[in-house]
Amino acid sequence: MDTPIKRKIFIVDDDKFLLSMYSIKFQKEGFDVVVAVDGNDALTKLREGLVPDVIILDIVMPVMDGLELLQKIRDEHLVQESVIIILSNQGQSSDIEKAKQLGVEGYIVKATTIPSEVLAEVKKVLARHNK
């Protein structure tokens, strides 16, 4: 019997409660979870060779916000095969448009989404990419 390949998810959010909650949720679904608490922490891990299947990225964070991080990821050609999904309370059309211009695969507003819906969206996006 083939063992399913563990998919790696990288969650970047400054809210430690949410990081913990989503880490547990995704681990229970068989994901290998890596977390970062801000954009600098995330960028360091990516530059050191972390290549996740999917990145869940918050926008509002100290030091470097999620859109700034996303721009650096694109500029430095990091993790080009990773699927990136924004998970943020920022629901303004300008933020959504900028994220789409930077090539995100999904945009989820935290305040209107429960964790199981986030998990379902991640699985749906991964299925579209055959990951």
Q: Are 110 and 87 in contact (CB under 8 A)?
A: yes
pLDDT at 1: 46
Please give the structure tokens belonging to residue 48: 């050191």
CATH of domain 8-121: 3.40.50.2300
Q: What is the pLDDT of residue 92?
A: 82
> Average pLDDT of the chain?
90
Structural domain boundaries in the chain: 8-121
Mean pLDDT, rounded, for 55-60 = 93
Q: Considering the entire predicted model, what is its pTM?
A: 0.91
What pLDDT does 89 receive? 87
Q: What is the pLDDT of residue 131?
A: 58
